[in-house]
Amino acid sequence: MKTIIIKNSKIDKQNKILKKIYLLFRYIFNKYIKKISNPKYYPYYYDGIATTHNCSFINNENFLRSYNRGKKAHGLDYEMPFRAHQSIWCANNTFELDGDFVEFGTGKGFTMTCVLESLKKWNSSEKKLWLFDTFKPEIVDQDGKQDGEKKCKFYAENLQSVKKNFEEWNNVNFIEGKLPNTFKDILEDKKIKNISFLHIDLNFPTIEFECLEYAWPIISKGGIVLFDDYAYKGFEKSYKLMNNFAKKVNKLILTTPSGQGILIK
């Protein structure tokens, strides 16, 4: 692309060396930087990730059906296809393992409706899904209380609406109340004996850490823990706590570009 310098402009009045430097940077910007800073340059540009690499999963028939079912749970597009993809990947790779699926922090059910829709054999299997949440719309404060006036659009309006969203699938259990106590009660009653896939999304690092400590002993070998906010900006405390846990059990968490983390037992 040819650069035209307007006569008597500021650039035109500069000496030859400065003119050459300007022309060089102008060339670099238009040839490389301008394209890279343009979202259209990337075939994938969502949820903090921009890449030119192969993300053809977004056109996969099973993924599209599952992702659209997840969007239906909320009524809008989360624009988080990579998160959905990773959740589906975890679920499909642990479906044949011994143990149930468990989610700490369900909200309206985006993630697990994506997961169940992707598993064609779910209703004919004996697999169980356990969804733990308060099923309330209020935002959780720093003390873990959820009785303020501010609401989160990603949280459930109530338990009944979430149950209705999952009514097409068998063996889905809804555990209403605050963690980790609700999970401890289930463990004491031995209702969950093994876990093959655990999804953690509570937006509250210390509670997530406590729940993971209770869950780890019954996670099957090869089972997967997917952390939603592990490396997400603003969740540095979660990153530190989960890394400390992984070190204690002699494991390493995989950081993903979406801010999630994957831990395999």
pLDDT for residue 39? 56
Boundary of a domain, candidates 33, 51, 69: 51
Q: 168 and 44 in one domain?
A: no
Domain contains 11: no
Domain-located, residue 27 = yes
pLDDT in tens, the chain (265 residues): 445 555 555 656 677 787 677 777 766 766 665 555 555 667 788 888 888 889 999 999 999 999 999 998 877 667 899 999 999 999 999 999 999 999 999 999 999 999 999 999 999 999 999 999 999 877 776 666 666 677 777 788 899 999 999 999 999 999 999 999 999 999 999 999 999 999 999 999 999 999 999 999 999 999 999 999 999 989 999 999 999 999 999 999 999 999 999 999 9
User: Could you tell me if residue 5 is inside a domain?
Assistant: no
What angle in degrees, to the nearest 10, is found between the helix axes of 81-94 and 110-118? 50
- State the total domains in the chain: 2
Same domain, 94 and 119: yes
Give the structural domain span for 244: 57-264
Q: Do residue 68 and residue 136 come from a single domain?
A: yes
What dihedral do alpha carbons 205, 47, 83, 117 form, nearest 10°? 130
Q: Both 135 and 191 in a single domain?
A: yes
Q: Checking DSSP bridges between strand 261-264 and strand 254-255, what pairing results, if any?
A: antiparallel
Here the CATH number for the domain that contains residue 240 is 3.40.50.150
What pLDDT does residue 143 have? 61
pTM: 0.83
Q: How many other C-beta atoms are found inside a 10 Å radius of the C-beta of residue 130? A: 22
Residue 131 is predicted with a pLDDT of: 98
Same domain, 61 and 45: no
pLDDT at 1: 45
Specify if 8 maps to a domain.
no
